[in-house]
């Protein structure tokens, strides 16, 4: 789709939204387009960021000849949206749903664990100094007494 077509579509859609006093959310729901894309078509710098499917939906509305957005219905291809359940083969009644799991191959968990690399001596020394510095100000015994009053009410 070329830039001129995009500009004309955006102009018609924006004019229809403002004439009908619709929000982008309402118009997007009717046209089958995300409200974000309706905001993006207001500036031509964002035209390239709007996906082709959104432009196709807006182009379909413009070409439909509908004067208002409110009266427009998006045609949905039901073959894509709803699977055909009649063609689905019936499952075997006695088939165990876990039989496929027995065929699966599992990796050895010990092999997946990577051994830790030893830290360089400079880092080990810095960490030990930090621990010593942090522990110097901490008392050996700490007594903590918590006085809490809890009111519990359950309503159904």
- What contacts 50, CB < 8 A, 6 or more positions away? 37, 40, 41
In this prediction, what percent of the chain has a pLDDT beyond 70?
A: 65
pTM value is 0.48
Lowest-confidence pick of 47-56, 67-76, 84-93, 105-114: 84-93
The mean per-residue pLDDT over the stretch 76-87 comes to 53
In the chain, what are the domains? 3-77 (1.10.260)
User: Using CA atoms, how far apart are residues 55 and 31, in angstroms rounded to an integer?
Assistant: 11
């Amino acid at each position: 789709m070329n830039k001129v077509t995009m500009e004309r579509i955006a102009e018609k859609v924006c004019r229809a939204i403002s004439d009908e006093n619709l929000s982008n959310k309402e118009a997007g729901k009717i046209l089958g387009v995300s409200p974000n894309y309706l905001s993006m078509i207001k500036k031509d710098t964002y035209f390239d960021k709007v996906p082709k499917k959104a432009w196709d939906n807006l182009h379909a509305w413009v070409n439909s000849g509908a004067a208002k957005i409110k009266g427009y219905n998006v045609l949905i291809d039901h073959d894509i949206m709803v699977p055909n359940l009649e063609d689905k083969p019936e499952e075997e009644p006695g088939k165990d749903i876990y039989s496929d799991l027995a065929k699966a191959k599992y990796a050895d968990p010990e092999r997946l664990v990577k051994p830790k690399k030893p830290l360089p001596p400079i880092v080990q020394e810095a960490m030990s100094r930090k621990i010593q510095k942090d522990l110097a100000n901490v008392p050996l015994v700490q007594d903590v007494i918590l006085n809490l009053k809890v009111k519990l009410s359950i309503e159904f």
